[in-house]
Structure 1
Amino acid sequence: MTIRAFGAPHRYIQGPGALDQLGPMLAIYGRRAFVVADRIVAGLLKDRLTAATADHLEAITFGDFGGECTAAEIDRMTAAATAAGSDVVIGLGGGKAIDTAKGVRIARGGGLIIMPTIASNDSPTSRLAILYTADHVLSEVRLMATNPDAVIVDTEIIVQAPVRFFVAGIGDALTKKFEAEQCYRTGGLNFYKARPPELALAIADRCYQVIRAQGEKATADVRARTATEAVESVVEATILMSGLGFESGGLSLAHSLTRGFSAIPELAAALHGEQVAYGLLAQLVVERRPADFLSDFRGFYQRLGLPLKLADLGFTGDRGAALRTIAERTIAEAPYIRQIEAELDVAKLTAALEQVEAAI
């Protein structure tokens, strides 16, 4: 009998004005904070963070994050955090800044609080730090010993970001139900090197239900820069439920395809959620889902603005060659490519991708 395991942040706080909860939360973990944030994000939020933490910290130092989560950038931010004498790190911004903050925590220890400013993926809750090369090719995955100490999501900030990020977060979250189910059925392992518990599958399924029920309204509300109840529910799905669903539930083909996409510069430049949303279409084809199910899915994608073709991800080159490259790299390199019931090889995966491209 195989061990089951589930993990999560110690605390998750979400809602309008949630940034104001940062000070009391920081005080639990340290007195000298180091913030990993780029200049744009720091310029927008530095004063608010400083005011929110003034009564709870001895010092707060802002690192000038360079924009890509590379090994060199983690080393640079780690050196800056050490020079500041920090005992708690704050990851403020998008997934790259968040993962760099995780890298600093891996190197130095101490507390870690994540504050996403966009809801484009589910990285805030997880132990994973995804590293890239300087030219944006995925290079390695590093793991923290535990999940972040706290995740604080201020939805008033989230709705100010371009709607493309919000839609990408929906794309990322949509995959989790289907990937967790495949991982479970094939005897695969989650990111704790254990079997997915029933709870993880329940969370992934609820994540999907919320997005299908409220995703379109929430997207319209974000376009209007309004943090409605629909937005709150979808943000909880795309950050919290999606994060718990993938880390404790496991991944499958949809996320495996990012290895292939990273080999093609035009596709590598797409947002993670856009990439895996396309990957989910391929997974559903491989699963032999009925035509009406696939048609319904494509309609939902179209209404939200999620990618249906490589062209929607920015690709303009030789499509046939690109599909084979994607399949080859995915089969050769993706760590969870075998966590799917269908037997896959390069030819079969290429055929599935061709079917996605041919769909009307």
Structure 2
Amino acid sequence: MIRQAVLEYDHSKDALENLPARIGKREALVLRGESGYSKAVRVSPRLADLPSVRFTGECSDEEVERLNGYRPDVWIAVGGGKLIDTAKRIAASQSVPLIVVPTLVSNCAAFTPLSVIYTEEGSYIRYDTFPVVIERVIADERLLRDSPYDYFKAGVIDTVAKWYEARYISGTTSRDAGIQSGLSLAAQCGKLMDLSIREQDFRRYGTDIRYIVDHVLAIGGAVGGFGDAGTRVAVAHAVHNALSRFDSTHHWLHGDKVGFGLVVQERLVASEDTVILKNWLQSIGAPTSLAQLGIRFDQIDELVTLIREETKIQGFRDFDDSERLKEILINLQEMVYK
């Protein structure tokens, strides 16, 4: 199935100035985070005139139930990935439109017809897909160029993962038009490794950074929209989901854990790209060992079990050799793979 979630995507220097016109005479309600919302108000003070409700921090069933008590004509999501996922889930259940204002360059939540659901403590449960239509994504350069760099870096890792995971599931070509389109977009995402993502480049927000931001926020999400299960998530995200069960990993960002999962995934298939991938992750300060993620040696068996469970839950190609997976994780416990 080909399923795209966004009608319009506006990435421009003053994109937020168009928000009042997009709302029109409808009753709007802003779902707001903390720091991101306040920065958005500084960029566009009129945003503060709209009624708002605070997001508690997790895209959980409990949070969705709480917010479903509000019934605006249009929701405005101003924040990061979990907030946007929550707004999508609510908008879909209420059959009302949604306008998204991302305040972080951290993932493709603003462009995907799905929400990742966590417990209130931050452990992954599942992801829900639905025919939600986002009216408009408003990517304001003034807001994004001053957003936290660590989130941008993690967002690039998560976007690069689109290529490796799509390739793991479907190979490099397909006779299915949707999957082939997804693979072509995923290949673009993989090539972001060739561009500089240093913080000084991000702050200058030149042509290359705009190109990268568009891939993190939009193109990466379109990969799964075209290819669906044929290009969406594979072992790297299964590893992320399993790692999220350990409290020691909660301070690491989503993309950081996915990057570690990519190293595991590519080792499993004996990919020649593993060393290139590992070196790239190290060069940008992403974790490449379980010790960095706070996972002890005596927790590896539990991690193996959780990863296997995640591959079955998500329904993609499983691997039968738990000992091979354990061997890889042991070698990634305290050092980069030997």
Distance, in Å, in 1 between the alignment partners of 2:311 and 2:144 is: 31
Distance, in Å, in 2 between the alignment partners of 1:230 and 1:104 is: 35
User: Within 5 A, what are the aligned runs for 1:170-209?
Assistant: 170-185=156-171, 196-209=178-191
| Structure 1 spans left out of the alignment, 5+ residues | 55-59, 189-193
User: What corresponds to 2:224 in structure 1?
Assistant: 246
Aligned equivalent of 1:9, options 6, 11, 18: 6
Aligned equivalent of 1:297, options 277, 290, 299: 277
1:66 corresponds to 2:56: yes
User: Within 5 A, what are the aligned runs for 1:197-346?
Assistant: 197-209=179-191, 211-217=192-198, 219-222=199-202, 225-247=203-225, 248=227, 249-290=231-272, 293-313=273-293, 315=294, 317-318=295-296, 320-335=297-312, 339-340=316-317, 343-346=319-322
**Does the CA-based 8 Å contact 1:186-1:339 persist in structure 2?**
no
Q: How large is the Cα RMSD of the aligned pairs? A: 2.7
User: What corresponds to 1:21 in structure 2?
Assistant: 18
AA at the equivalent of 2:113:
R
1:38 corresponds to 2:19: no
Distance, in Å, in 2 between the alignment partners of 1:73 and 1:268 is: 19
Question: TM-score normalized by structure 2?
Answer: 0.88
How far is the alpha carbon of 1:277 from its aligned partner? Answer: 0.7
Distance, in Å, in 2 between the alignment partners of 1:213 and 1:5 is: 29
Deviations 1:54-104 (A, max 9, x none): 8xxxxx31111112222222222221x32xxx1111111111211111122
- Indicate the larger mover: 115-124 or 5-14: 5-14
Distance, in Å, in 1 between the alignment partners of 2:236 and 2:127 is: 17
Deviations 1:301-335 (A, max 9, x none): 1221222112333x1x52x2332222201212335
**Does the CA-based 8 Å contact 1:90-1:114 persist in structure 2?**
yes
AA at the equivalent of 2:298:
A
Distance, in Å, in 2 between the alignment partners of 1:155 and 1:347 is: 48
Deviations 1:220-277 (A, max 9, x none): 322xx32211210111111212111234322211111123112211124421111101
Aligned equivalent of 2:324, options 318, 343, 348: 348
Question: TM-score normalized by structure 1?
Answer: 0.83
Distance, in Å, in 1 between the alignment partners of 2:224 and 2:239 is: 15
How far is the alpha carbon of 1:117 from its aligned partner? Answer: 0.4
Distance, in Å, in 2 between the alignment partners of 1:39 and 1:299 is: 35
Distance, in Å, in 2 between the alignment partners of 1:256 and 1:238 is: 20
The percent of aligned pairs where both chains have the same amino acid is 22
- Indicate the larger mover: 135-144 or 165-174: 135-144
How far is the alpha carbon of 1:145 from its aligned partner? Answer: 1.8
* Secondary structure of 1:216 counterpart: coil
**Number of residue pairs matched?**
331
* Secondary structure of 2:188 counterpart: helix
Distance, in Å, in 2 between the alignment partners of 1:233 and 1:172 is: 15
**Does the CA-based 8 Å contact 2:290-2:329 persist in structure 1?**
no
AA at the equivalent of 1:344:
D
| Structure 2 spans left out of the alignment, 5+ residues | none
How far is the alpha carbon of 1:12 from its aligned partner? Answer: 1.3
How far is the alpha carbon of 1:288 from its aligned partner? Answer: 0.5
Distance, in Å, in 2 between the alignment partners of 1:134 and 1:151 is: 27
* Secondary structure of 1:36 counterpart: strand
How far is the alpha carbon of 1:198 from its aligned partner? Answer: 0.9
* Secondary structure of 1:118 counterpart: coil
